[in-house]
């Protein structure tokens, strides 16, 4: 049986928005956390303040990190560190995980589940498990043209260059069984 192709209607879907954080160093190492839901406006404001405070005090071996943070599409948190100035350590990564766990508890969201994918449709993100995404492929909801957020990027250059990858991309097609 042929899988129906769900092409978006003309004019509704264009290429998703680019990821353009304010000037981050080009070789900035990053960590991407996709929330299971979008943050409300008041939550974003509080979260931005907490992120700013965290990155201002984030350190490794008692040395302050040159750290950055942003919230993208009201649902994606990106933390970055310019490792040309100071490298992160196991303890500094542990402190970021602890910070994110606090955020999860405060806003009742899920940030630390790496087994989820975020796809772009109708101007917003749909976040789902890989297993559910595979079912969506079988139903024709996800097709080779579907955009997925590149939450696997490891540095800011990768995320700026390819914030979105099509389901046909080798990384996603393997995960989705396409």
CA distances to 88, 91, 158, 170 from 163, rounded to whole Å, are 23, 28, 7, 15
Spell out the residues 6+ positions from residue 105 whose beta carbon is closer than 8 angstroms to its own: none
Q: Identify the pLDDT of residue 12.
A: 41
| pLDDT value of position 23 | 81
- The predicted pLDDT at position 7 comes to 38
Q: What are the tens digits of pLDDT across the range 41-81?
A: 999 999 999 999 999 999 888 889 999 999 998 999 999 99
Rounded CA gap, 60 and 95, in Å?
10
Please give the radius of gyration of the chain, using alpha carbons only, rounded to the nearest integer. Answer: 17
pLDDT at 14: 60
Q: Is 4 exposed, middle or buried (0-12, 13-18, 19+ CB in 10 A)?
A: exposed
Residues of the chain with pLDDT under 70: 1-15, 21-22
Which residue from 148, 77, 151 is spatially nearest to 119, judged by alpha carbons? 148
Calpha distance 38→127 (Å, rounded): 10
Output the pLDDT for position 150.
93
Residue 123 falls in which region: left (phi positive, over 0), alpha (psi -120 to 50) or beta: left
pLDDT attached to residue 21: 67
pTM reported for the whole predicted model: 0.86
């Amino acid at each position: 049986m042929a899988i129906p192709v769900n092409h978006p209607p003309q004019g509704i879907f264009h290429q998703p928005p680019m990821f353009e954080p304010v000037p981050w160093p080009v070789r900035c190492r990053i960590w991407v956390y996709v929330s299971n839901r979008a943050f409300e406006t008041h939550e974003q404001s509080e979260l931005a303040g907490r992120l700013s405070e965290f990155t201002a005090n984030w350190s490794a071996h008692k040395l302050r990190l040159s750290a950055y943070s942003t919230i993208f599409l009201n649902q994606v948190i990106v933390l970055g560190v310019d490792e040309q100035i100071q490298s992160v350590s196991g303890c500094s990564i542990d402190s970021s995980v602890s910070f994110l766990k606090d955020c999860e508890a405060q806003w009742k969201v899920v940030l630390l589940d790496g087994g989820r994918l975020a796809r772009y449709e109708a101007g917003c993100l749909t976040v789902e498990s890989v297993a559910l995404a595979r079912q969506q492929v079988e139903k024709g909801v996800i097709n080779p043209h579907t955009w997925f957020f590149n939450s696997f990027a490891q540095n800011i250059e990768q995320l700026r260059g390819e914030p979105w990858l099509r389901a046909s991309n080798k990384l996603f097609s393997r995960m989705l069984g396409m």
